[in-house]
Amino acid sequence: MAVACVIDVAGPVLTLQERRLFAARDPWAFILFGRSCETPAQIRALCEDLRDSVGRACLIFIDQEGGRVQRLAPPIWPRLPALSFYGKLWQDNPAHAREACALQHQIMGQMLRDVGIDANCAPCLDLRLEGASHAIGDRAVSADPHCVAELGQVGLAGLQSAGVAGVLKHMPGQGRAALDSHEALPRIAASKDVLEQDLLPFRANQSAPMGMIGHVVFEAIDPVAPASQSARVVQHWIRDAMGFDGLLMTDDLTMKALDQPDEVKAARVFEAGIDIAMRCHGTLEERDAFLQHCPPLAGASLDRANRAEAYAPKPAVALDPDQLWARFTELTGWEKAMTLSISPDPTRKAWA
């Protein structure tokens, strides 16, 4: 039986040692990073090998938001705008913003499905707020929760139309965080009334198949534990108050926000009521040890995992990429050929 973990891959080719590890430990799903993405043919072969290693058609995740978080990147794949682009477009023409955002997610979904990837850690529904950490920044749409909610809905629908399941992040909203959870543990001191505004985009998208919980302390809800390890946040805030019954997974548990041994991280995550632990960096030995701390999927968590896997089947009719791009360019001025020469910022963090 699959264990409740999404685990990473070290490189572009599945090693014999990794194959043996995954066959023995049976992680529920995998996630790819830039280090594992070189060419379409290589990614297709890697995805096939990963599924073969566990003997089933498991989900394979990636972070493909557009902007600075895009694992399939130039020069092979076109770069697409960060979500803040649509927040600006919304101010001038909300209808065009909705259509263009949907098209971007259809285009991204098609890119992913073409190489064998069927789950995307997107869209980002955090608010874009002044004074917050750059870790979210232009990855967020807007400071207007209603705008974020609507564009989140069309983004999810766009991915689904291409056969890709989306993941809402970062529940219950970390747009106010002044620190980057990749480097330290943020604390948000806002009241519950204020936090309800941050939660609004997630409430509006609670039919999504999956959500990702960040490593942030929300003092008004639980002044001690970060959201990813807090039953008050998971059970009372997200499950009960919000009513979300999709699959809940953690953000990467190797982030520096969590200064604990792996066995403690895993225990606290599952005690809080989260369905899936995600670990994205480490040696083969570290991955092996972590997988042994993850329980088999069972009960409600297994039901949610099954629903997530069935959420976005391969489309019966393929989308026409030329038509998608033509309309996208018409709405935004963003041309496919132009984006091929845009490279990621070499100074940005490796996680971005």
pLDDT digits (tens, 9 = 90+) for 174-206: 999 989 899 999 999 999 999 999 999 999 999
Phi, psi of 30 (to 5 degrees): -125, 160
> Do 145 and 101 form a contact (C-beta atoms < 8 A)?
no
Q: What is the pLDDT of residues 273-324, one digit of tens each?
A: 999 999 999 999 999 999 999 999 999 999 999 999 999 888 877 788 899 9
pLDDT band at 255 (very low <50, low <70, confident <90, very high): very high
pLDDT in tens, 13-27: 999 999 999 999 999
146 is catalytic: no
Q: So where are the chain's domains?
A: 3-339
Active-site residue (options: 251, 252, 262, 288): 251
Longest dimension (CA), the chain: 54
Class of domain 3-339: alpha beta
Q: Closest by alpha carbon to 209, among 147, 141, 278, 163?
A: 163
Residue 338 has a pLDDT of 53
**Distance from CA of residue 246 to its chain's centroid?**
14
Q: What is the per-residue pLDDT for 269?
A: 98
Count CB-CB contacts under 10 A for residue 92: 8
pLDDT score of 130:
84
Asked if residue 91 has pLDDT above 60, the reply is yes
Mean pLDDT of the chain: 93
Label residue 344 by pLDDT band (50, 70, 90): very low
Q: Quick check: 108 and 156 in contact, CB under 8 A?
A: no
Q: Do residues 38 and 72 touch, judged by C-beta distance below 8 A?
A: no
At 339, is the pLDDT very low, low, confident or very high (cuts 50, 70, 90)?
low
Is residue 134 part of the annotated active site? The answer reads no
Of 105, 170, 182, 215, the active-site residue reads: 182
Per the CB < 8 A criterion, the answer to whether 248 and 211 are in contact is: yes
Q: Is the pLDDT of residue 343 over 90?
A: no
pLDDT of 134: 85
Per-residue model confidence (pLDDT) at position 350: 35
**In the 8-state DSSP scheme, what is residue 256?**
T
> Which is more confident, 350 or 230?
230
Burial 198-209 (b: 16+ CB within 10 A, else e): bbbbbebbeebb
Percentage, residues of the chain above pLDDT 90: 88
Question: Please, which pLDDT band fits residue 128 given cuts at 50, 70 and 90?
Answer: very high
Residue 333 to residue 335: CA distance in whole angstroms: 6
Kindly report the pTM of this predicted structure. 0.94
Is it true that the peptide bond before 201 is cis, omega within 30 degrees of 0? no
